[in-house]
Amino acid sequence: MSEGIGTLRELRAALDARKTSSVEIVGECLRRAEASQETLRAFVGLRAEAALREAEESDARRERGEVRSPIDGLPIAIKDNMVQTDEPTHCASRILEGFISPYTATAVEGLERSGAIVIGRTNMDEFAMGSSTEHSVEGPTRNPWDSDRTPGGSSGGSAAAVAARIVPAALGSDTGGSIRQPASFCGVVGIKPTYGRVSRWGLVAFASSLDQIGAFARTAADCAWVLEAIAGHDSRDSTSIPEPAPAYSGALSGDLSGLRLGLPKEYFVEEGVDARVLVAVRDAVADLERAGAKTVEVSLPHARYAIATYYAIANAEASSNLARFDGVRYGHRAAGAKGLTEMYCRTRSEGFGAEVKRRILLGTYFLSAGYYDAYYRKAQQVRTLLRGDFEQAFMGCDAIVTPTTPEVAFRLGEKTSDPLTMYLSDIYTVSANLAGIPALSTPCGFVDGLPVGLQIFGSALDEATPLRIADGFQRITDHHTACPGGAA
């Protein structure tokens, strides 16, 4: 393991061949996490003692022939906005300091049922609000490909941990691109499922109609395994889709012949995107065509309004969701406040970072009397139009492919003083959340030694097709096998 932790499938094969043990794998992950912390800061907390104990239990199950699933005994990290019983969850925010969860998120329960071992919590933008993992009380995470650059956000810690070969897989959350954008920047696979496919119960809410838990791994096949463990109906989440998740691994045939790939003309314009990113994406499309896929032009005419629509809806919902953090029940409370109102004001002022405050203020404004119809209601109407665009486009294709991001990973500090420029990092990703459809990013090339991501949209409830396309693409290319220099 001197060259880093292998993929889930490589580790599974080693366990089955008795070449290693779960204890050895988990121990190596913990060692690498600790050793990389000063340079990457991918983690905000490790479960060393508990994880090793669970690894011992998994090894004992294996000896008894009672393996629970393909990921039994394998280590996975979770983002710091998913709760786990008796473990801290801080959402990278001071306002939740000291909070210990009394229950476990449904998605994390899915990992536990499968025998996977949560080794720790990964760094993130505070309350998942950001595109660079710089808005964290723990400090920024760094990109394994270039420590002067961002890993993306808000799930930057999870993406960096997988890219640096610290863990084979990790969970993240995606509200407007927070899985796919860091997956692109870090050169790994990241999938956001259909809204409602994975329960949000136990995920600390940012924007409730947009948030979705998904997975990071180095291959699409590994993402399929993780998704099989965490997807499915949950009666505790009223937005959970009331049907079982399919066996995604069964769709990974490697055969792409006859698949129709839609190329939205609005996503392949030169303005606002690094031309070299477009070249890498077009080369990837050509590879898919050589593998038997067909391409057709489609249109998403309301895509130009996606960013404005997203930030109106997301900030409005954030304003409502974050009202619960007031210093009364848990987390940080301002000391020495004279009266309840002063305690509320000082607690929230001290506890929230600048970006979270900005979004709360904007969201409160969008919901205020006299502005609700002009902003929030109008944004919901545009969201309906955008969803209709995708429904129309999917009548003529099986999947839609685009760039994941308009550029490769930017430098830390480069955009923190200009929030609008930072927000535009999500220009290609937010539409999937607004429409509620699945989307995936897979590595498809490099620009100046930094990874480029290919984004694949699927129709509602069809995560299998993007996974199938990404898996087929990885069988004929090797972009996903490249390793950042500092990972070993």
Peptide bond into 154 cis (omega under 30): yes
Share of the chain above pLDDT 70, in %: 99
The pLDDT of residue 420:
87
Instruction: Please give the C-alpha separations between residue 297 and each of 208, 260, 454, in angstroms, as whole numbers.
Output: 33, 10, 17
Cβ 257 vs Cβ 397: under 8 Å: no
Q: What does the alpha-carbon distance between residue 153 and residue 174 come to, in Å, rounded to a whole number? A: 9
Cα(450)–Cα(144) distance, rounded to whole angstroms?
10
Tell me how many domains the chain contains.
Answer: 1
Burial class (CB in 10 A: 0-12, 13-18, 19+), 381: exposed
- Looking only at the bridges linking them, the beta strands covering 439-447 and 189-192 are antiparallel
Lowest mean pLDDT, pick from 82-86, 209-213, 440-444, 481-485: 481-485
Its domain, for residue 470, covers: 1-488
- The residue-averaged pLDDT of 320-334 equals 94
**Tokens coding 346:** 């000082």
Residue 1: pLDDT over 80:
no
Token digits for 459? 């129709």
115 — pLDDT class (breaks 50, 70, 90): very high
Query: Would you state the pLDDT for residue 487?
Result: 52
53 vs 57: CA distance, rounded Å: 6
> What is the per-residue pLDDT for 2?
42
3-state SS, residue 157: helix
Query: Tell me, what DSSP letter sits at residue 127?
Result: G
Question: CA 357, CA 107: separation in Å to the nearest integer?
Answer: 28
pTM of the model: 0.97
CA end-to-end distance (rounded Å), the chain:
9
How many angstroms from the chain centroid is the CA of residue 304? 23
Tokens of 24: 């050895």
Average pLDDT for residues 268-290, to the nearest whole number? Answer: 96
Distance, in Å, from the CA atom of 356 to the CA atom of 315, rounded to the nearest integer, reads: 9
Write down the pLDDT at residue 284: 98
pLDDT, mean of residues 204-221: 98
Q: Decide if 327 contacts 333 (C-beta within 8 A).
A: yes
Catalytic residue set? 79, 154, 178
CATH code for the domain in which residue 292 is found: 3.90.1300.10
Q: What digits encode the pLDDT tens for the residues 346-395?
A: 999 999 999 999 999 999 999 999 999 999 999 999 999 999 999 999 99
Closest Cα partner for 390 from 273, 272, 299, 263?
A: 299
pLDDT for position 488: 44
27-48 pLDDT, tens digit each: 999 999 999 999 999 999 999 9
Total residues belonging to the chain: 488
Structure tokens at 80: 């710091």
Alpha carbon distance 158, 162 (integer Å)? 6
The pLDDT of residue 473 is above 90: yes
- The pLDDT tens digits of the residues spanning 158-193 come to 999 999 999 999 999 999 999 999 999 999 999 999
The closest alpha carbon to 79, from 167, 136, 180, 158, belongs to 158
Distance of CA 130 to the CA centre of its chain: 12
d(CA 28, CA 26): 5
Radius of gyration of the chain (CA): 21
Which letter does DSSP use for residue 246 in this model?
P
DSSP-H helix ranges across 352-377: 354-367
Phi, psi of 136 (to 5 degrees): -135, 135
Q: What is the pLDDT of residues 354-363, one digit of tens each?
A: 999 999 999 9
Q: Name the E strands within 80-212.
A: 117-122, 169-173, 189-192
User: Which residue type is seen at 375?
Assistant: Y
